[in-house]
Structures are given as structure tokens and as C-alpha cells.
Amino acid sequence: MTGPSDPAPSAAGSGGAGSVPGRSPQGADRTVSDAAGSGGAGSVPGRSPQGAERTAAALSDPENRSAPEETPRRAPGPAGTTPPAGTATAGTATEAPGTGSRRRTIRRTAAVLAVLAAGAVVLAALNSGTRHGHLDPRSADPTGSRAVAELLKERGVTTRVVTTAREAADATGPRTTLLVTDPDRLGAGQRSAIRSAIDLSGGRTVLLAPGDHSLSDLSPGVRTEGDAGSDDLDPRCTLPAATSAGRAGTGGDLRYTTALPGATACYPSGGHPTLLVLPTGTTGGDTVLLGSETILLNESLAEQGNASLALQLLGSRPDLVWYLPSLADSDPGTGPGEQDKSLLELIPAGWSWALLQLFLAAALAALWRARRLGPLVTEKLPVAIRASEATEGRARLYRKAGARDRAATVLRAATRERLAALVGVPPTRAHEPAALVPAVSARLTGEPRDVAALLFGTTPSDDAALVALADHLDALEREVRTS
């Protein structure tokens, strides 16, 4: 026994295509077969005419809604026989095959995503205190300065990070080295506070790549001379820190010139130094102008004599005050560091790689779940269902949906295919009005009929019109067969 192969038994879908007085049992069987999917679920050998009449009557009765629920599904067996006792039957409200598996897959996927999100949040929380960005002694980023801070710590130098000029000025003294990482960012009031600390502290002040904007207040008498030509330069001076460090990466940024007495010029590029050491008014104090930040970065600390020079410049006193100017200390609209940064520039380098890896993992997971390794495979139904029973159950579903359009389409398509075989029209042109309508009209001998409207017309307006359409199509086919 064969089950339905097309899930669109739509003539039954209207609920109105039922038995009609004067219709032959063969016509009713053919109408039911068309409704079951145009050749999918047909009449069953061995079935009595009463079975076909009962099926058609069920389709035409809009109030008889309980037949599919009351009619048991028979297990596979010889046509026209009753299945043995204990045979499993298919219920009417069974879950579609694979639905449970899809739900479990969705739940597992959601659980994995939740775990990944939780892990990302935990990592962000754990790393929030150690990743602070450019020239930060707490940052392990390539452009951070954690490496030099750790080396200073091993040598007994205590590093303190401050973010305001007032904190920096208050922390200075004879035993203190003050490092200002971005002098050009400071406003007028902040520059004045740092200048007072330079003059009165008696310690060392290191200004990192100061430009003309800040030099006028922090180090009068010094001006810039453009960019240095190369990154690594030789000391060419008598400064002990420079001679012991040797060649270092002080170039690639600013050069300076000054006529102040007592200034020590080192690491010249094109005749102008990239490192200046200036004495201050207080005995024992000095100011260091370093034209490049390269020797303080994690990524370049191990190159040439960078580490040696950085440790000697910053480690000459037991205390190091690392001043990272905040936005509150900045002078709006001045200096190259005041340009707005994009969102991508604000994300640390490590997080960019993490986001890229997550994106690739998501893409691979999508490809894995969407793979198709071969053609679709048709699976057999768990049980074979009689065509009449499938028609009865599906008829009520289509009636609830009001699918008269689908029912009429299936009826007409099945009729066109059978008529094309009778009148000699190729199957490939069975659904072309220009080919089928003239051939069918030539075989009619009775009263004139609008063959085009019957085979290619509009959707019936109600259930009665759908039943009438089924009758007219059946009559048309009988006339062509007998002509």
C-alpha cells in the first residue's frame, strides 16, 4: 500500500469537494486521488466503492471534524487487510521527525554561546587592572611600559602612577624622578604646576617628546628642530648614562637645540641632539628632554641599549612618579595628542585578535551546521496510511486554512496532465494554454464549453464553487475519454 507522496491534497482543503448526485464511483475516486496530491495517494486496490463514497462524504461535510482523530492509522500490511493486534499506529498529533533533535541542538548551541560570553566577561574583569594602554607602566601591551617598570622594581625603585598635575607636583622631591609622558597635552595651569616642581624639587624631571607648545613653559630656551632621521643613534656625548648604554633608539621623532649653559647634548641626528640634560636652579636637580618614547615601550625595550638607557634615566632616584595626563589636565585644541580617536583605536591590540578569533569560530560553526554532503534522501513513513484516510485528515486542515486556491490548483493541474496524455500533447507542455486548450476543444462534441476557464481559470470564490469546478473538470475528462 502506498502513502501520499505530495503534502498538498488541496481539493479536500476547501472542505467542500465532496460527493455530488449523479457522480459515478470512479469519478469520486479520481477526485479524491487528485486532492491527495495529483498521483501521490490514489485509490487502494481491494477497497470497496463504499470506502470512496465515505471519503468523499467526509470531505463535503464541514461539521464532521473528528474523523481523523477517531480513525486509527493502520500499520503496513497487504492491501485491504486489517493489521494484526499490537501493531503500532500513527497518531494524529505526532511530533514532526527531527523536531526534538533540532531543539536539543538549539539548546546546546545557546549553552555554548552563554559559556563563551561568560568567559569573555570574566577575562575582561581579570585583565581590567593590568591593561591600561599607551606608555602605562601597568600595561603589557606592545606600546605599554610594564617591562621597564618591572626592571626598575627589581632594582629597588618604587613606581607611582598619577593622572593630575597637582598630584605629580606634590609627589616630587630630591629623591624623586618625575616622568611626564605627554607634556604637550597639558593646559597652562598644569604646565605652571610642573614648572614649579622642576625649579623647587631638587630631583630629576623627564619630559617625553615635548614640543614647542610645552617647551616655552617647561623648558625656556629650548626649541625643536624637526624630526630625527633614523631610529637608532650613537650617544656622542660624555653623559655616563649614555656612554654605558651605547647605541639606543632615541631617534625617529623630535630633535632639539639650545644655547643654555651647562646643557649636555646626546644622540645627535643631523647635528641636533635627541636627548638633552639641563641643570635646574636647585642644587642636584636636572631636567631630561627625551625626543622619542621608543626606549620605554615593551616592544622595543630589548633592542640596542634601550633598556640600559631607560633604567639609568628613570632609576637615578629611589622613587619614580609616572605622570599620565588625564583629560581633565588637557588643554583643548592644542597639541597633536588632542585628536579624537576612533573606536578601533581605543580597543587594545589583544582584544582585536580575540574578536577576530571569535568571528572565525562563529563562521566555522555556521558552515559546519549548514553543511550538505549529498542530495536529500526520502524517508519512508513509519506506517502506511490509506489514501482515503489521508485525504479525510488533510481535508479538514485545508478547510481550517481556507485553502481553496491551493485545492483548485491541484485539481486543475492533475486534470491537465491526464488530458494532455489523452489528446497527444507532450507532458512538458501540459500546463501551457496555447498547446492544451485547442487540442482539448477539438475532441469535444457536445455543448460548447469554456475550456480555458475550466483548466486555467481563477480561484473559486466559495466551497460551492470549488465543488462545481470539480464536477465540471470530471465531466470534461469523461467527454474527452469517450470522444
Tell me 294's DSSP state: G
Q: Is the model's pTM score more than 0.85?
A: no
Sign of torsion over alpha carbons 21, 26, 30, 32:
positive
Burial class, 321, CB count within 10 angstroms (exposed 0-12 / middle 13-18 / buried 19+): buried
How many angstroms from the chain centroid is the CA of residue 129? 29
Q: How far is CA 413 from CA 1, 383, 468, in A?
A: 24, 28, 16
**Of residues 155, 138, 156, 158, the one with CA closest to residue 146:** 138
Per-residue pLDDT of the chain (483 residues; tens, 9 = 90+): 334 344 333 333 333 433 334 444 344 444 434 444 443 333 334 444 444 444 444 444 444 444 344 444 444 444 444 444 444 443 344 445 556 677 888 888 888 888 888 877 766 665 554 445 889 999 999 999 999 999 999 999 999 999 999 999 999 999 999 999 999 999 889 999 999 988 888 899 999 999 988 998 999 889 998 887 777 899 999 999 999 999 999 988 899 999 888 899 999 988 899 999 998 877 788 999 999 999 999 999 999 999 999 999 999 999 999 999 988 877 655 444 445 566 666 666 667 778 888 889 998 888 888 766 677 777 777 888 888 888 888 778 878 888 888 889 988 999 999 999 999 999 899 999 999 999 998 888 877 778 889 999 999 998 899 889 989 999 999 988 887
- Answer for the pair 329, 185: CB distance below 8 angstroms, yes or no: yes
Residues contacting 17, CB < 8 A, separation 6+: 11, 31, 35, 56, 59, 60, 395, 407, 411, 466, 467, 470
Residues contacting 445, CB < 8 A, separation 6+: 479, 483
Residue with cell 496510511: 385
| 322/177 Cα distance (integer angstroms) | 8
- Answer for the pair 158, 321: CB distance below 8 angstroms, yes or no: no
Helices then strands, each counted (H, E), the chain: 17, 9
| 455/465 Cα distance (integer angstroms) | 14
| 391/387 Cα distance (integer angstroms) | 6
Residue with cell 553543511: 371
